[in-house]
A and B are shown apart, each in its own frame.
Chain A
Amino acid sequence: MGGLGGLLFCVLAGFGAMRAAWPAPRHWSAHDPLRLAMAPAFGLGLLSLVYFAVRTVMGGTGGVVLVAFATLAMGLAGFAWWRAASAEAENREWAKGPTWLWLVFGAVAGVAAFTLTLILIASPHGEWDAWSIWNLRARFLFRATEAAAPFDPLLNWSHPDYPLLVPASVAGLWTWNGGETQWLAAAVAVVFWASAVFVPVLVLARLRGTAMGLTAGLALAGMPLLTRNASAMYADVVVGYFFVAAIGLGLLAIQTRAGRGAAILAGVAAGMAAWSKNEGLLFCGIFVVTFVGVVRSRAELAERIRLVVPLVVGMLLVLAFVGHFKYHFAPANDLVAVGKSASMGARLLDFSRYSVTFWGIAEGILTFGDWLVPPVIVFGVWLALQGIRKVDSGSVVWPFLVAGLQLVGYLVVYVIGSDRLEWQLETSAERLLLQIWPAAIFGLLYLAKDSAATEKR
């Protein structure tokens, strides 16, 4: 069927999963644009799980991968169709927003997408980490006849402990294609870039008004670093997308009638973050704890407890694969391994490391994103103009808090885990900040006051 067929099956699987967990009537419904925007990335995640289970764990052939994934996609679509029969109609109220803002967003997103395409044509194998880690692992997964080959200790320089969503989805698409081709690896990069831009737009448009959604879209599509990192075929945009998708779905579960279905999907998205990069494991912990803990009343707490069960179930569905990979295939992560030998406790008490880390991150924040004006200044002024809305429930601050705690987690890992602290800050701080950027901008916009019209709605 070719690689395009594989991509279409990913959309089918993703859309089927969205509608199976969060059903809607059989006609095109109000949330379907959001479901469709989320579908390709979710589908690629599912393909990577199937590829890992069939090829690496069970030793099956590529043909078995195709049959298994096609069956899963059609099964999910069928289940979604069956659930649609009894689904409630969705609220069609959807403010269009100012036309000029749509035009500006369209222009910015169009320029960014065109730039992304140019870079992918010029560098189809991506940058250093792409061909030394992600695409290299995809080649191993696709070409190797032995399950353990991609994780050989001789390849420790290529971080064989890194989770497999990106390489296994590329290998899965190559299986559909019947051979390797770089345009499919590029397609994966484009899917996650587009998801990271459009999904926050649609979620915020639903929850806080279209103008707010489009502002988020401008902050994401207009950031050169996001385009540069996606075109480099790194996994930071991927994990950043799943962070913001999980938060968005979590809010939809709390704020709308999507309820438990969206909660399951939020958990799956958080699990997919952990299946994309190790930083996702930290996110899963923060996500669950804050989902239950950041409340302002007992009624809110009771509602969160009701929703956290499906959320954790969704998360565990993916974390089971992560756990199997970590236990059976992945060597220890280098940060953890180094930390063990050099005593994390001693680092914890070395206060000079806090200072170095703090200033390293502060410098990273001030120069972040390749914007003409640092985003902290832009959004500082923006927030002064907009104002912060009344915090009448925990969910108002929850998204920004999750992003903030994720950053604190990174600071702690730098302090206690890093063997070459200054070098690591220099080479990775920008990418870690980028991972948090979509969630942070989403959280900030969710926290801010919108126009009077939206407040009344």
Chain B
Amino acid sequence: MSPRNVLAVLLVAGVSFFSIGKFFQEISDFYVRRPEVDGVTQFTFRYAPVRALLPEKGVIGYMTDPAATADELNATAELYLVQYALAPVVVVNSTDQRYIVTNFHVMVTTGSMADQGFKLVREFGNGVAVFENQKWGKR
């Protein structure tokens, strides 16, 4: 290799080495401070018992609370994660289904849900429950 070739390769090698090194440093800092369980596993773990309850196909409605919908991006992410957890049942962002699954961040009583026409099927804790829509099929 001529000195020009060596210089050219060293240029690429230097930038490449220090760029990936800096990236490694950022990631290793993040890695040591990471939560024990990653966010996706943590979130979807709450829905594992719901999945066991659901059939192998079909559509289920979804309800969350206003506290969650205030942050639109986060609300969308949570809906997609619920879908990720409950596949192959399709989760739709609507309560106009016979059964709905909830993702509540604040306390909601079964009484207030009953007033809206939703009867509790099973509660799983951490804001997760399945309700039956009493108005379903009556319109």
Segment at the interface with B among A54-62, A323-331, A377-385: A377-385
- For residue B39, give the distance in angstroms from its CB to the closest CB of chain A: 8
Q: In the docked arrangement, what's the CA distance between A211 and B21, Å?
A: 22
State whether the Cβ of B129 lies closer than 8 Å to any Cβ in chain A.
Answer: no
- For residue A424, give the distance in angstroms from its CB to the closest CB of chain B: 17
Contacts of B9 in A (CB 8 A): 101, 211, 214-215, 218
Q: In the docked arrangement, what's the CA distance between A157 and B20, Å?
A: 34
Q: In the docked arrangement, what's the CA distance between A215 and B11, Å?
A: 10
Q: A125 is contacted by which of B4, B20, B38 (Cβ under 8 Å)?
A: B38
Segment at the interface with A among B75-83, B107-115, B117-125: B75-83
The residue on A at minimum CB distance from B56 is A145
Contacts of B22 in A (CB 8 A): 224, 372
Q: B15 is contacted by which of A128, A371, A385, A386 (Cβ under 8 Å)?
A: A371
Cβ–Cβ contact B84 & A115, under 8 A: no
Cβ–Cβ contact B19 & A211, under 8 A: no
Contacts of A118 in B (CB 8 A): 27-28, 31
Q: Give the total of B residues in contact with A, Cβ under 8 Å.
A: 40
Given known pairs A219-B12, A378-B11, the reply for A111 and B41 (CB within 8 Å) is: no
Q: A111 is contacted by which of B12, B21, B31, B59 (Cβ under 8 Å)?
A: B21
Q: Give the total of A residues in contact with B, Cβ under 8 Å.
A: 61
The residue on A at minimum CB distance from B7 is A385
Q: Which of the listed residues B2, B8, B59, B83 has the most CB atoms from chain A within 10 Å of its own CB?
A: B8
State whether the Cβ of A352 lies closer than 8 Å to any Cβ in chain B.
Answer: no
Cβ–Cβ contact B87 & A143, under 8 A: yes
The residue on B at minimum CB distance from A130 is B40
Given known pairs A125-B38, A150-B88, the reply for A370 and B23 (CB within 8 Å) is: yes
Cβ–Cβ contact A453 & B81, under 8 A: no
Cβ–Cβ contact A381 & B40, under 8 A: no
State whether the Cβ of B63 lies closer than 8 Å to any Cβ in chain A.
Answer: no
State whether the Cβ of A124 lies closer than 8 Å to any Cβ in chain B.
Answer: yes
Q: In the docked arrangement, what's the CA distance between A131 and B18, Å?
A: 31
Given known pairs A150-B88, A385-B5, A451-B5, the reply for A219 and B41 (CB within 8 Å) is: no
Contacts of B88 in A (CB 8 A): 139-140, 143-146, 149-150
Cβ–Cβ contact B31 & A152, under 8 A: no
Q: In the docked arrangement, what's the CA distance between A144 and B58, Å?
A: 10
The residue on B at minimum CB distance from A116 is B27
Cβ–Cβ contact A370 & B19, under 8 A: yes
Cβ–Cβ contact A136 & B83, under 8 A: yes
- For residue A437, give the distance in angstroms from its CB to the closest CB of chain B: 13
Q: Please, what's the 1-or-0 string for A128-154, where 1 marks a CB less than 8 Å from any CB in chain B?
A: 100110011001100111100110101
Cβ–Cβ contact B1 & A114, under 8 A: no
State whether the Cβ of A222 lies closer than 8 Å to any Cβ in chain B.
Answer: yes
Q: Please, what's the 1-or-0 string for A200-242, where 1 marks a CB less than 8 Å from any CB in chain B?
A: 0000000000010011001101111001100000000000000
- For residue A20, give the distance in angstroms from its CB to the closest CB of chain B: 36
State whether the Cβ of A123 lies closer than 8 Å to any Cβ in chain B.
Answer: yes
Cβ–Cβ contact B18 & A372, under 8 A: yes
State whether the Cβ of A279 lies closer than 8 Å to any Cβ in chain B.
Answer: no
Contacts of B23 in A (CB 8 A): 115, 224, 227-228, 370
Given known pairs A154-B92, A373-B15, A451-B1, the reply for A227 and B31 (CB within 8 Å) is: no
Q: In the docked arrangement, what's the CA distance between A149 and B57, Å?
A: 8
State whether the Cβ of A362 lies closer than 8 Å to any Cβ in chain B.
Answer: no
Q: In the docked arrangement, what's the CA distance between A256 and B30, Å?
A: 47
Q: A132 is contacted by which of B56, B59, B80, B90 (Cβ under 8 Å)?
A: B80
- For residue A372, give the distance in angstroms from its CB to the closest CB of chain B: 5
Given known pairs A145-B56, A222-B20, A382-B8, the reply for A122 and B84 (CB within 8 Å) is: no
A-B contact pairs, 9 of them (CB 8 A): A118-B27, A122-B34, A131-B80, A144-B87, A227-B23, A372-B18, A372-B19, A385-B11, A386-B4
Which A residues fall within an 8 A CB radius of B?
Answer: 98, 101, 104-105, 107-108, 111-112, 114-115, 118-119, 121-125, 128, 131-132, 135-136, 139-140, 143-146, 149-150, 152, 154-155, 157-158, 211, 214-215, 218-219, 221-224, 227-228, 369-373, 378-379, 381-382, 385-386, 450-453
Query: Which 4 residue pairs are nearest across A and B when measured between Cβ atoms?
Result: A222-B16, A224-B23, A144-B88, A385-B8
